[in-house]
């Protein structure tokens, strides 16, 4: 966890841990219907602010052209991978992007017969032995028995293996034996780092708990008429009071989960207003337009009250980490650095909110690995609505027009695989996100597929 205590303001991370802190006459040709927008258009990658592009160039060694292209390619890759995952079903074995501009999408499968469909979708195909679901199931077994000596576990889709990190020789072997896990599924990696909490209403701004420890705002949200923000659970428990970056009374924690997950939300008093921004490089506002989770290999930037704005890439989703306080599951592993006090802060990819800083290792001088708690489960668990910048209502019903009807509803968090009805059709969700006006299923094929 990256929460910083006031008395430890100068302490650097020495070990992995939580980061608190789309007319004619009779002879005219038929007029085609409107074209649905591309994923990049739907996710508004062209609106990426200069500060975000500059940080991508700095931290990933990109040219300006590569930085812009990367955001476009990542959006399209996420949509393509989601459609292929739905098509491949149980044979799906993961997907990732490669290249400086993320121009190459690879999709893995356990069936050779799937390669034609994968290539037809514009992706590279890789045939592997193990399906992603099988490796995830094995990881879930290990998660229930893991301890601090096997602190990190994740599925490496590129290598088609389940990785277990151990801090002492033999710890992973003992875990596999105790759980009856086939060693052939697992790659053991020795690490000297042990994740720990880093205890120390714009995303990335500082806030203080009970007047002492410091964490960072994740993403401003609303619940009915109440303004607040999502953050890390290890920063506080229900009832913990908060003051803002200016030490003015701010609000209190309404709910918190840690360990197990690392999620919480704070309700602010009426002096504070949620904004649809994250604090970017130099203090500039970076807009938030949605919460579509990006694929492995995609770029991601983090804002925190200790180290500010830093970028890296997503390494693995659904990672499990065992901190001294207990195991956290479902977090995302990244190459972004962080330090104490950054806990709870914002992870954003392009303009899409990804999650809140949990923990990690290393620091922003020598580099490190950090984990974020995905945002969508927080929104869903607590009934929160992410604050986003002006969304275009698109070609949906205008004022006075009848609603098309169906079960789709703006504000609902949909997971990949969920089905809804809208306008007489049935649609399956391809990428997890919180629905909003303008993102009705027929309008965003990057997010919904008609079935």
Please spell the DSSP secondary structure of 119-138, one letter per residue: HHTT-EEEE-SS-HHHHHHH
Quick check: 8 pLDDT over 70?
no
The Cα 254–Cα 222 span in angstroms is 13
370-382 mean pLDDT = 98
How many beta carbons lie within 10 A of that of residue 103, not counting itself? 16
The Cα 68–Cα 73 span in angstroms is 9
How many beta carbons lie within 10 A of that of residue 191, not counting itself? 17
288-296 mean pLDDT = 96
How many beta carbons lie within 10 A of that of residue 58, not counting itself? 14
Q: What is the DSSP string of 177-205?
A: HHHT--GGGEEEEE-S---EEB----BT-
Tens of pLDDT, residue by residue over 35-80, are 678 999 999 999 998 989 999 999 999 999 999 999 999 999 999 9
- Specify the DSSP class assigned to residue 5: -
Q: In whole numbers, what is the pLDDT of the chain averaged over residues?
A: 89
Quick check: 10 pLDDT over 50?
no
Residue from 343, 346, 349, 351 carrying the catalytic annotation: 343
Which 3 state secondary structure label does DSSP give 45? helix
Q: What is the pLDDT of residue 398?
A: 42
Residue from 114, 143, 205, 262 carrying the catalytic annotation: 262
- Please state, for a pLDDT cut of 70, what percent of the chain lies above it: 88
User: Which of the four pLDDT bands, split at 50, 70 and 90, describes residue 6?
Assistant: very low
Residue from 234, 310, 317, 433 carrying the catalytic annotation: 234
| CA-to-CA dists, residue 433 to 216, 278, 378, 413, angstroms | 23, 18, 12, 6
Tens of pLDDT, residue by residue over 160-196, are 999 999 999 999 999 999 999 999 999 999 998 777 6
Cα–Cα nearest to 280, from 46, 50, 47, 12: 50
Q: What is the pLDDT of residue 32?
A: 55
Quick check: 121 pLDDT over 70?
yes
Known catalytic residue: 343? Answer: yes
Quick check: 390 pLDDT over 80?
no
Q: Give the bridge partners for 97, in sequence order.
A: 105
Give the dihedral sign, CA 136/419/411/68.
positive
Known catalytic residue: 234? Answer: yes
Known catalytic residue: 137? Answer: no
The token pair at 30 is 């038929």
The Cα 300–Cα 207 span in angstroms is 23
99-127 mean pLDDT = 98
Asked if residue 354 lies in contact with residue 347, where contact means CB atoms within 8 angstroms, the answer is yes
Q: What is the pLDDT of residue 376?
A: 98
Cα–Cα nearest to 220, from 292, 264, 275: 275
| CA-to-CA dists, residue 240 to 53, 85, 234, angstroms | 37, 42, 11
Q: What is the pLDDT of residue 393?
A: 39
């Amino acid at each position: 966890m990256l929460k910083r205590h006031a008395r430890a303001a100068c302490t650097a991370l020495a070990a992995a841990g939580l980061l608190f802190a789309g007319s004619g006459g009779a002879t005219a040709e038929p007029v085609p219907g409107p074209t649905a927008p591309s994923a990049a258009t739907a996710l508004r990658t062209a609106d990426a602010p200069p500060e975000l592009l500059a940080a991508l160039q700095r931290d990933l060694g990109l040219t300006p052209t590569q930085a812009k292209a990367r955001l476009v390619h990542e959006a399209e890759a996420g949509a393509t991978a989601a459609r292929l995952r739905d098509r491949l079903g149980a044979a799906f074995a993961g997907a990732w992007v490669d290249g400086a501009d993320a121009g190459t999408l690879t999709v893995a499968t356990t069936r050779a017969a799937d390669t034609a469909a994968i290539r037809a979708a514009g992706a590279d195909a890789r045939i592997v032995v193990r399906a992603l679901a099988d490796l995830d199931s094995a990881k879930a077994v290990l998660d229930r028995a893991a301890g601090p000596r096997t602190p990190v576990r994740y599925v490496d889709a590129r290598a088609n293996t389940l990785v277990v990190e151990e801090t002492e020789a033999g710890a992973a072997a003992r875990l596999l034996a105790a759980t009856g896990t086939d060693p052939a599924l697992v790659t053991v990696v020795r690490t000297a780092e042990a994740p720990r909490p880093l205890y120390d209403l714009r995303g990335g701004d500082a806030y203080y708990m009970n007047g002492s420890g410091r964490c960072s705002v994740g993403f401003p949200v609303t619940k009915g008429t109440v303004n607040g923000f999502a953050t890390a659970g290890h920063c506080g428990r229900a009832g913990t009071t908060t003051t803002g970056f200016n030490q003015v009374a701010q609000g209190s924690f309404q709910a918190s989960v840690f360990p197990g997950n690392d999620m919480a939300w704070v309700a602010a008093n009426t002096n504070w207003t949620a904004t649809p921004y994250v604090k970017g490089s130099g203090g500039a506002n970076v807009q938030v337009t949605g919460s579509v989770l990006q694929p492995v290999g995609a770029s991601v930037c983090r804002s925190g009250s200790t180290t500010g704005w830093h970028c890296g890439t997503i390494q693995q989703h659904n990672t499990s980490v065992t901190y001294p306080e207990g195991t956290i599951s479902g977090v995302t592993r990244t190459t972004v650095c962080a330090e104490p006090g950054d806990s709870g802060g914002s992870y954003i990819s392009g303009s899409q909110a990804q999650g809140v800083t949990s923990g990690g290792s290393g620091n922003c001088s020598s580099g490190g690995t950090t984990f974020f708690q995905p945002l969508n489960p927080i929104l869903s668990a607590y009934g929160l609505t992410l604050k986003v910048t002006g969304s275009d209502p698109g070609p949906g019903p205008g004022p006075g027009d009848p609603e098309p009807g169906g079960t789709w509803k703006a504000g609902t968090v949909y997971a990949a695989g969920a089905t809804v009805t809208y306008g007489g059709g049935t649609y399956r969700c391809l990428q997890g996100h919180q629905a909003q006006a303008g993102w009705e299923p027929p309008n965003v094929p990057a997010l919904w597929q008609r079935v």
